[in-house]
Structure 1
Amino acid sequence: MNPPKKRKSATMDETKRIDYVLVVRDENLEKIQLYLSNLNTLGLETEVVQGETVPVNFVKIIISNSALKHFSEVYDVGNEEINEGMSIYTEPIYTNPFKTPLSDTMPKANKEITDAERIVIVNMVLESTKYGAKDQEYGLTKLINRHIVDCAYPLHDGPANYNMVNTRSLLLRFWANFGYIHKEQPLDTIYRYFGHEIAFYFAWLEYFNLMLIPPSILGVLCFFVSIFYAFFVENFEIQEMCNSHHVILCPTCEEQAQCKYKKLSSYCSLSTWTVIFDNYFTLAFAVFMSFWAILFRTLWKRKENKLKLRWTTNIEDLDTEIRPVFEDRAVHTKRNKITGEIEPYTPRLVRVCRYSITIIACAFMLFIICLAMLTIVILQIMFARYCDSSNNYYLLVNSKWMTMVMGSTLQVIFIKLFSKISAPLSIKLTNMENPRTQQDFDKSVLYKRYLFSFCNNYIPLFYLAFIKGKMYSVPHASNFLNRDVCTPANCVVPLCIQLSFLLTLKALVGNICSLIYPYILKFLKRLFRVKEKVAKVIPQWEEEYGLFESSRYLLTTEFTEMIIKYGLVTFFVSAFPLTPLCALANNVLEARSDAYKLVALYRRPLPLRQAGIGAWNGVILSVTYLSTATNAFVIAFTSDIVPREVYKANTHGNSLNGFVRSTLTRYGTKDYSKYANLHERRDHCYFRGHYNPTGHPQQYDLNRTYWTELTFRFIAVMIFEKKKNILNKSTESAFSPHQKQKPCSPSACVPVPPSRCQEAVWARFEGPPLQSSIFESRKFDSGGIE
C-alpha cells in the first residue's frame, strides 16, 4: 500500500488554523492593500502566498482568539445561553444498531463558538471592512463583483482522508460513506461544522426518508394484492379484453395507405397492467397518502421547532440588512421615517418595470416547456403511425409500449437540460430585480427555481392525467394533435411509466452521474495534460481551490429536487402505488451522495444562519393541499373506478361483464373518406368514447352514459375532498400540543407540578422543562414554538 500523498497543513507555522482564503491575481494585489491593512487593524492576520500550480495569489486569513470573542459579541453570534438539559444523553454509543461514533455529539456548550459560527464571524468582518476611501467602498462581496478578488472561500479543517483526525475526515468516514447508508446521520456534527442551513436540510431529508417507510411497505403490499386481485378475484375486464378478437379498433394512421386495423385483444397486456394499477386498493392507498401528507407536515413542524431550540436558533434571526449590491445599484435615496437616516431605495415605477420583465421571462420559459412537450407529443404520434403502418410484426404489436417509453425518455432528457438553464436564469432575474435585503433575494430565487421545476416536471404528468385522449372525439372530426389517444383501457399506464422514469432514470441516473462526473473530468484533464508537471506537495488552500465552487444556492437546487419528489409521492400515488418505495430508494442514495459532494468534492460552503427550512415550509403546505385535489381528479377522471361503479349500478348482476365493450363506440368506416383509401377494408370499427353509434338518429353525439359518468366523477371529487378535510381536522387536533379544556374557576386553575417520573422522561428525551422567560419571549400555536 502506497503512503498517502503529503499535503501542506492548513495552518500558519503549524499553530494557527486558516479560516478564510482570498484568491487574487497579481495585477489586483495593490488594490486590496488597504483592505488587508484594515483587516490587520481589526485583529485578523493575513499572509499572501503564490500558487504553486496555478498563476494566482492566495491571501490566508486568520482571526485571533481575542478578535473572535470581541466580534462574537458585536455580531451576537455564539453567545447563546444554552439550556444544559437540551443536550443530555444517557445511552452509550453503539447501543443502537443505527448509530455511528458521531451520533452522540453534543450540539454546543454554553457560549461556545462552533466551527461554523467562527466562519460566520470572519465573513461578517470581511463584509464590513473598507477597501477604499469612499463610504460605499467596503465588503468582500463588492470586491468580488468588481473582479478585484477572483473568489473567496472558507477552508476545511483538514484534508479529506481516512487517516487524518479532523471533523472533515470523520464526516467522510461515518457520514459521507455509502457503507453507512443504513446508519443515522450525525446532525449535531453537521450543525457544528456546516451551520444551520445544511443541518436543517439533512434533518428534513432524514425525516422524509423515515416517513416514507410506512407508505413504501403499504405500497408494495397494495401492488401485490392488486396483482392477486386482477388475476384471481375480478378478472372480467382482462378476460374480456384478451378474448375480444372480433372487436376491431379504428386506426389513427389513416393518412398512410399501409395503416392497419388492430384487434382489441392486442392490448391484452396493457389491460392487465391497467387493472393492476387502477383498482379499489389503489383508491384506498390514495386516501391513506392524503392522511400521510397532512401528518408529514404536522410532525415535521414539531421536529423543526425542537431542532430550533436544540441548535439555539430563533425565528428572529433573519437577514434584514441592506444588500451591498443594492446600495451600489440604487441611485435614489430617501430618509427613513423610523431611524431618520438617509437610505437608498428603488422607485415604485422602476420596480414595476423590473417585475414585469421577470413575469414575461417566466411566461416565456413556461411557453418553452409547453412547446417542448408538444414537440414530444408530435414525435410520439409520428412514431406510433410509423409502427402501426409497418410490416414488422414486433413494431406492430408493441407500438404502444415503445411509444410510451420513447416519450418518457425524451421528456426526462428535456427536464434535465431545462434545469441547467432555469437555475442560473432564476439568479439573473433576481439580480435584475435587485431586492433590498438578502432575505428577499433568497426567497425570490427560491420561488422562481421551484416554479420552473414544478412546471418542468409536472406539466407532462398533468397532460397524461387530464388532457391526453380527452380531446379526441370521433375519427372524422379529429385533427393531427388530438390523435394522441390513450389505450382502449385508459391513460393510467402511460402515467405510471412517466412517473417511474422520473423516479429512476432522472433521479437515480442523475445521482450516479453527479458522483462520477468529477472523476471523469479529472481523467480527461490528465489525459490531455500528460506532459504538465504537477507539484508533489500541494497546499490545502490550493488543493481546495481546484474543487467545485459552493454557491449560495447549492442547497436550493437540492431542496427543489426533494420537494419535487415529495410532490411526485403525493400527487399521483393513486396511479402508481410504488412511488414511495422508488422515492425512498432514491432519497437514501441522495442523502449520502449530497454528503459526499459537500465533504469531498466541493469547497466548504459559507454557513448560513437560518431558522429551520424557511420558505420551504410554505411550499410544502401548498404541495400538501394541492396533492389531495390532484389525487381526487386522477381517481375521478383518469382511472375507471367511477365508470366501473356506474356500470355495476346499471347492470342487474352487479358485475363487470361487458364493461370494456360499453366504453367503446361503433363507427361506420363509410363516414370517413380516408378509411376508404386503406388497403384493408372494414365496414365498421370501434373507438373509446361514449357516443351514439353509427345508424343512430343522433349518431356520434355524446350519449346519456357520458353525462351520467361525468356527474358521478365530480361527486367523487367532492367526496374525496370532504374526507380530506375531516382527516386534516382530526390530525391537527390529535397532534396539537394544546387541547381544549373545560373552563374552571380561578381558584381551581392551579398548575399541577410535574412528578419525578415526568421530569425524568422529559430530561431523557428533550431536556428539563423550559423556564418561564423562554415562554414569555415566544408564541405558541398548534405546531409548537413559532
Structure 2
Amino acid sequence: MGKYIHMYISACFTDWSVFNIYLSFAGFDIGGQVAIGFSHWKSPFPGNGQNLPSPDCVRSEASAVPPISEHLEPVSCPASLSITPLPTLSASQETLCDSTFPVILLLYTLLIFPPAVKGVNVLLGRQRSEGISSPSRDDDSTLLNQGTHSSILDDNTNKSSGLCFADGKSRIDYILVYRKSSSQSEKREIFERNIRAEGLQMEKEASITNSDVIFLKLHAPWDVLCRYAELMNIRMPFRRKIFFMHRRHKFMNRMEKRINKFRGWLPRKPMKFDDTLPDLEENESFTAPFSRSRIHHFIIHNKDTFFNNATRSRIVHHILQRVKYEEGKNKMGLNRLLSNNSYEAAFPLHEGKYHSKNSIRTHGAENHRHLLYECWAWWGVWYKYQPLDLIRRYFGEKIGLYFAWLGWYTGMLFPAALVGLFVFLYGIFTLEHCQVSKEICQATDIIMCPICDQYCPYLRLSDSCIYAKETQMDMCKHLTLFYSCLPATVFLEFWKRRRAVLAYDWDLIDWEEEEDEIRPQFEAKYSKKERMNPISGKPEPYQAFTDKYSRLIVSASGIFFMILVVIAAVFGIVIYRVITVSTFAAFGWALIRNNSQVATTGTAVCINFCVIMLLNVSLFLLSLRATTEQPRTESEWENSFTLKMFLFQFVNLNSSTFYIAFFLGRFTGRPGAYLRLINRWKLEECHPSGCLIDLCMQMGIIMVLKQTWNNFMELGYPLIQNWWTRRKLRREHGPKAKASFPQWERDYNLQPMNAYGLFDEYLEMILQFGFTTIFVAAFPLAPLLALLNNIIEIRLDAYKFVTQWRRPLPSQAKDIGIWYGILEGIGILSVITNAFVIAVTSDFIPRLVYAYKYGPCAGQGRAGEGCMMGYVNASLSVFRVSDFEKRSQPKTTGSELFGDAVKYCRYRDYREPPDSAEPYSYTLQFWHVLAARLAFIIVFEHMVFAIKTLIAYLIPDLPKDLRDRMRREKYLIQEMMYEAELERLQKEKNEKKKKDKAHHKEWP
C-alpha cells in the first residue's frame, strides 16, 4: 500500500517545484527498469500563474456532463519529477488531487479503498504486473509528455466578439458569405435546407459595412461531430503514452553532471522556445478511429473541446461537400456553388486577434492565433525552430507538412552553404599562389584577338587579370566534385525519414485520401454521357477514350509551343548579346569600352530577368488553357497543372543559364572562319579568362533579383490590398470602426488564400532547389544565398498565413505529393549538369591533362601548382592577322597600344600555328583533352549514381525506433481495446447480477 501513498503524494502536491521523493518510503528495489508515470510537469502559462481568459463559447450543459470515462480520464493536476510505479490516475484519484481535505484523510481513503489501475501495467525492477506492458524506448531516453490530444488553448478560447452565435455558447465552425442580390437564391435555399437536415445549426447576419453581404454562420453540435468523425475515421486519443527509462550507471551520472556544468557557461538551446511559453509540442497519446459505440474508451474532458477547432471545421466542410443544391439531381457540393457564384466566400474563422498589447511572456496567450504570431510569425523569433505541432493544429496537416519540408530544406542548406563558403574563401586565400592567374596577370606581351567584328580592339591578356582571379575563386572543383551532387540525395533520403516521423506523430500513417469529387467543369462538359461508377455504383459523367487522347495530343502540342516561345526568347537574348558587345566596344565612355563583354553580360542578365518574369505570367495563363484534357477530379487536374507549370517555369528560368554554361563560346569557330547566325552575326565568344565568370554573373544576378521580387510580391501585395480595405473602412465608418467588427467581418476583409493552395509556395522553393543544385559546381555561393532567402521566406510565409490571409481550410496530407517526384528528377539532372559544368565549362580537365601529360611534371604522377607553369601559353593558339575575313578585320591595327601594327594574335583553342603543314587544324592535345572530358563525365556520373544508390539503400525510409514504436503501439491499441471491452462486459455482468439479486430479494 505504500506505493500508492508515495504516488499520490508525488502527484498531488500543489507546489510547482521538483521534490525529492525517496523510493525507500515505498520499499522498492530500483535496480532494474522503472516506468515514468508523470515527470516534470511544465506549466503552460507564464510564471506569474495567470491563466488564459475563460471561454466564452462553452455550453453550460456540456460542461455539466460528468466525464464519460472514469477509468481512462487522465490526471489534470501537476505532478512532480518522481519515479512512480503507477502510470496514471483514474477519475476518482483525480478528484482526490483537487480535494481540499487534509493529507491524513487522503491516506486513510487510499488504505481503505486501494485504487485499481486499469489498462496499463508497469514494470518495476523484476516485478511485473498482469496485462499489457508499456512501450519501451531503445535509446535509453525518456519521452515525458502530459496533457490530452487537444491543446490547452482549445479549453480557453479567446474571449472576443465574433467567435460564437448570438447565444454566446455555440462555436462558429464555418462561415459562408453570399449577396442577397445574387440570382442563385433558389439553389442556396435548397442547399441550406439540406444543411439543416444534416443537423448543422445556422445563423445569419448582415454585414456592418454592406447590407447586401450576408454571413451564414454554421455550428456542428456534438452528435453531428461524433457521427461524421466516425464516418471520416478521425483518430482521437484514448490512452496516454508511457515510456520506459533504463537506470544509468553512476559513472554516466558523474559525466553528465560535468558536461552540464560546462554547458552552464553556454547559452541553453537558443533555437528552442522559452520554458515559460505554452507547451508547443504535440501531446503523446494513443489514438484510434473514433467510434460512438466505444465512446467511453476515449479521453473526453469536455465535449466542446474534444474535437479541436481545425477538426470541427474539417467535419463541417466534409458535410458541405456532400449536400445537394438541386432537388432530384445528383448535384452537390460547396465547390460547385462557389464556382457559379451562389456563395461568394467560404472559410473557417481565425481564433481572434493575432496582436495584443501585452506580450505572451508576461500575460500569456489569448488564443492560438496570438500564440502563432508571437512564437512563429514575429520577426523577433527568426532564429527559433518552427512550432510544427501548433501549425498543424491550427492550419492542418497539409500546410504543416509544407512548413516542415521548408524548414527541413533550409536546415539541410546549412552544411551545403558552409562548404560553398569554404570553397569561396579558399579560392580567395589561395589566389596569390595560383600559377595560372599569375601567368595571366604577367602576360603583358601576349596580344589577344578581338572578340567581335571590326569595332572590338586588340587586348593584352593581362587586361583580364581581375576576371581571371575571379574565375580562379571558383576553380576549386576538386573540393566540390561530390559535394555538388550528393547533398540532394542526402536531403531527399532524410526527408523521407522526417516525413515518416511526422506522419506517425500526426496520425497519418494509416490515412488514405478520400476519393475526389468530380470537377464541375468535367461534369458540365460530359453531363450527357454517363456510366455506372464501379466503386460507388452511381451514374457519373464519362469521357470517351478517343476524346480523352485527342485532348492529350492538343495539350502536348500546347506545351511544345510554349517551350518554343521560351527558346525564342533565349534566342532574342543571344542576338542582343551579339549586337551589344560590338556597340559597347565602340562606346565613347572608356570604362564601358574596355569592359564591353562584362557590360554586355550584365545588361543581358537584367533583360533576361524581366523577360523571365513576363513569361511567367504569360505561361501561367496559357497553362490554364493548355489543360484541355479535362481531368476528371481535382487531384488529377492539380497534378497535370503542376507538371505543366513546373516544366514551363523551369525551362524559362534555366534556359539562358544552360546556354551560357554549355553553348557560349563552344560553337563560334575560329578567327578567319567564324560561324555566324543567319550568316550575319558572329556568335559570342567567351572572355579571355573563360566562360565561368559569365555563368557566375548569370546565376548571382538572377537568383538575387528573383528572390527579392518574390519576397516583395508575397508580402507586399496582400499588405497593400489589406491596407486599402482598411483605408476604405476608416473613411466610411470612422477610425475605430474595425475594432468593433466581429471576427467574421475582419476575416472577410482579409485576402483569401491563393486558389491553387500551396502551389506557388512549393513552386518557388522547388525552382530554387533546382537552381541551387544543378549549377552549384559553377556557383558555390548559391546554397548560401538560398539559405538566407529561406530564413526570410519562412517568416514571410508565416506572417502572411497568420495576419494577411483568411484562415485556410485545415486539410490532411501524408506527404508533399507530386513535388517529391519532381525533386528526385532534379537530383538526377543535377548529377548530369554538374558533370558537364566541371568537364566542359571549367578548365579543370584541361589543367589536369596539361599537368600529367604536357607540363613540367609530366610522367611524375603529380599535379600541384608548380606543375602548371606554361599552361596559359599552351592553352592559347596563334593566328595571323592577315588571315582575317574582310567583315571581321579590326578597324584598328593595334599600333596605338603596342607601337607597331599587330601581325599575330592569340585565341583560346588547341590548334596548329599558321606556318605548320596543316594550319589551324586541331592539335593532339585537343583530342587528349576531349577524351579526358568524356571519360570524366562517364566515370563521374556512374560513380555519383552508385553512391546515391548506396546512400538510398543504407538510409532506411523508416527509422528503426519508429518502426518498433509503430508495431508496439499497434499491439497495445489492440490489447487496450480488448481489455477495455472485457472490462465493460464484466461491469455489465456485475450490474446484471446485482439487478437479479435485488429482484430475487423483492420476490415474495
> TM-score when scaled to structure 2?
0.69
Give the SS at the match of 1:673: coil
**Aligned runs of 1:94-133 on 2, under 5 Å?**
96-100=269-273, 101=277, 104-106=280-282, 110=287, 113-133=307-327
In the other structure, the counterpart of 2:444 is: 245
C-alpha distance in 1, partners of 2:852/2:178?
79
- CA deviations on 1:383-423 (whole Å, 9 max, x unpaired) are 22122112321112232332222222222233333333334
Gaps of 5+ in 2: 1-158, 246-266, 291-305, 358-364, 858-866, 895-901, 975-1004
* Residue-pair matches, total: 737
Equivalent residue for 2:816? 613
- Give 3-state SS (helix, strand or coil) of 1:667's partner: strand
2:689 to 455, 479, 489: 489
- State the one-letter code of the partner of 1:130: K
- C-alpha contact 1:108 1:114 (8 A) present in aligned 2: no
Paired with 1:82 and 1:452, the residues of 2 have a C-alpha distance of 50
**More moved, 485-494 vs 651-660:** 651-660
Q: Is the 8 A contact 1:298 1:735 kept in 2?
A: yes
Deviation larger for 385-394 or 432-441: 432-441
Secondary structure at 1:106 match in 2: coil
Cα offset, 1:82, TM superposition: 7.4
What is the match of residue 343 of structure 2? 149
Paired residues of 2:446 and 2:906 also in contact (CA < 8 A): yes
- The change in CA–CA distance for 1:510 and 1:337 in structure 2 (over 3 A counts) is closer
Residues 524, 598 of structure 1: alpha-carbon distance in 2 compared, 3 angstrom cutoff = closer
Distance 1:371 1:635 in 2: 28
- Measured at CA, do residues 345 and 271 of structure 1 come closer, stay the same or move farther in structure 2, by a change above 3 Å? same
Structure 2: how far apart are the matches of 1:329 and 1:729? 46
Alignment partner, residue 63 of structure 1? 220
**Closer, same or farther: CA 626–87 of 1 in aligned 2, 3 Å:** farther
- Alignment partner, residue 36 of structure 1: 192
Give, in whole Å, the separation in 2 of the partners of 1:187 and 1:329: 42
Question: Is residue 2:507 matched to residue 1:308?
Answer: no
Counterpart in the other structure of 1:440: 636
Contact kept, 8 Å, 2:559 with 2:626, in 1: the verdict is no
Whether 1:20 and 2:174 are equivalent positions in the alignment is: yes
Q: Conserved in 1, the CA contact under 8 Å of 2:453 and 2:889?
A: no
Q: Which residue of 1 aligns with 2:700?
A: 500
Check the 8 A contact 2:450/2:890 in 1, yes or no.
Answer: no
Q: 2:839 maps to what in 1?
A: 636
Shift of 1:529: 9.6
Matches within 5 A, 1:261-272: 261-272=458-469
1:182 paired to 2:383: yes
Offset of residue 45 of structure 1: 2.1
Kindly indicate whether the alpha-carbon contact (under 8 Å) linking 2:486 and 2:944 is maintained by their aligned counterparts in 1. yes
* Deviation, structure 1 residue 74: 2.1
Paired residues of 1:108 and 1:192 also in contact (CA < 8 A): no
Q: Does 1:680 align with 2:890?
A: no
Find 1:572's aligned residue among 753, 757, 775.
Answer: 775
C-alpha contact 2:453 2:682 (8 A) present in aligned 1? no
Measured after TM superposition, the shift of residue 712 of structure 1 is 0.5
Question: Any stretches of 5+ residues in structure 1 without a counterpart?
Answer: 1-5, 89-93, 740-757, 776-786
Change (3 A) 1:284 1:458: same
Q: Deviations over 1:347-378 (max 9, x none)?
A: 11111122222212222221222222222222
Of 354, 366, 385, the residue aligned with 2:563 is 366
Provide Cα deviations, 1:270-297, integer angstroms capped at 9, x if missing partner. Answer: 1001111013xx3322312423222211
Is the contact made by 1:319 and 1:437 (CA closer than 8 Å) also made in structure 2? no
The answer to whether 1:721 aligns with 2:941 is: yes
Deviations 1:83-115 (A, max 9, x none): 835999xxxxx9643222356432585455333
Q: CA deviation at 1:716?
A: 0.7
The answer to whether the 8 Å contact 1:44/1:64 transfers is yes
- Structure with greater helix percent: 1
* Amino acid corresponding to residue 462 of structure 1 in structure 2: F
Asked if structure 2 preserves the Cα contact closer than 8 Å seen for 1:23 and 1:56, the reply is: yes
Match of 1:742 in 2: none
The answer to whether the aligner puts 1:84 opposite 2:241 as a matched pair is yes
SS in 2 for 1:12: coil
RCO higher in structure (CA 8 A, sep ≥6): 1
Segment drifting more, 660-669 vs 610-619: 660-669
Is contact 1:8-1:540 (8 Å) kept?
yes
Aligned to 2:716: 516
Matches of 1:337 and 1:44, distance apart in 2: 31
2:329 alignment partner AA: D
Q: Is the 8 A contact 1:21 1:152 kept in 2?
A: yes
Whether 1:10 aligns to 2:163 is yes
Which residue, 793, 813, 816 being the options, matches 1:590? 793
User: Is 1:287 matched up with 2:444?
Assistant: no
Alignment partners' CA distance in 1, 2:238 and 2:626: 41
Residues 468-493 of structure 1 show CA distances to partners (whole Å, capped at 9, x for unaligned) of 11111123423245522221222211
| Structure 1 residues 222 and 676: alpha-carbon distance in aligned structure 2, compared to 1, 3 A threshold | closer
CA distance in 2, matches of 1:704, 1:633: 22
Report the aligned-residue RMSD.
Answer: 3.0
Q: Give the AA of the match of 1:287.
A: F
> What do the CA deviations read for 1:425-459 (whole angstroms, capped 9, x no partner)?
444444x3222233222222221222122212222
User: Is the partner of 1:98 in helix, strand or coil?
Assistant: coil
Q: Identity percentage over the alignment?
A: 29
Query: 1:604 aligned to 2:604?
Result: no
> Given the alignment, which residue of 193, 203, 214 partners 1:47?
203
Distance verdict in 2 for CA 1:12–1:338, change over 3 Å: closer
Change (3 A) 1:394 1:563: same
> Whole-Å Cα distance in 1 between the matches of residues 389 and 730 of structure 2?
44
Residues 585 and 687 of structure 1: CA distance in aligned 2, closer, same or farther (over 3 Å): same
Task: Give the equivalent residue in structure 2 for 1:452.
Answer: 648
**Could you report, residue by residue, the CA deviation over 1:216-238 in whole angstroms, capped at 9, with x for unpaired residues?**
22221221112222222xx2211
Asked whether 1:771 is paired with 2:970, we answer yes
Deviates more, 1:704-713 or 1:107-116: 107-116
Cα pair 2:179 2:213 within 8 Å, conserved = yes
2:851 to 628, 634, 648: 648
CA distance, structure 1, for counterparts of residue 386 and residue 957 of structure 2: 27
Aligned to 2:216, the other structure's residue is in SS state strand
Matched residue SS, 1:288: coil
Task: Specify the SS of the correspondent of 2:483.
Answer: helix
Following the alignment from structure 1 to structure 2, what is the Cα–Cα distance between the partners of residues 67 and 149? 23
**Deviates further, 480-489 or 531-540:** 531-540
Q: Given the alignment, which residue of 233, 236, 250 partners 2:435? A: 236
| CA shift for structure 1 position 126 | 0.9
Q: 1:354 aligns with which of 551, 563, 582?
A: 551
Tell me if the contact between 1:160 and 1:168 (Cα under 8 Å) persists in the aligned partners.
yes
In 2, the alpha carbon distance for the partners of 1:462 and 1:192 equals 43
1:747 — aligned with what?
A: none
Greater CA drift, 265-274 or 693-702: 693-702
Is the contact between residue 669 and residue 675 of structure 1 (CA under 8 Å) also seen in structure 2?
no
Letter in 2 for 1:683: K
2:828 aligns with one of 603, 612, 625: 625
Deviation at 1:516, TM superposition (A): 3.1
Cα distance change of structure 1 residues 684 and 243 upon mapping to structure 2, 3 Å threshold = same
Find the structure with the greater CA-based Rg.
Answer: 2
User: Which of 72, 89, 96 is the equivalent residue of 2:229?
Assistant: 72
Q: CA deviation at 1:667?
A: 2.2
Q: Superposed, which structure 2 residues align to 1:742-753 within 5 Å?
A: none
C-alpha change, 1:663 and 1:295, in structure 2 (3 Å) is: same
Corresponding letter in the other structure for 2:779:
F
State the one-letter code of the partner of 1:239: K
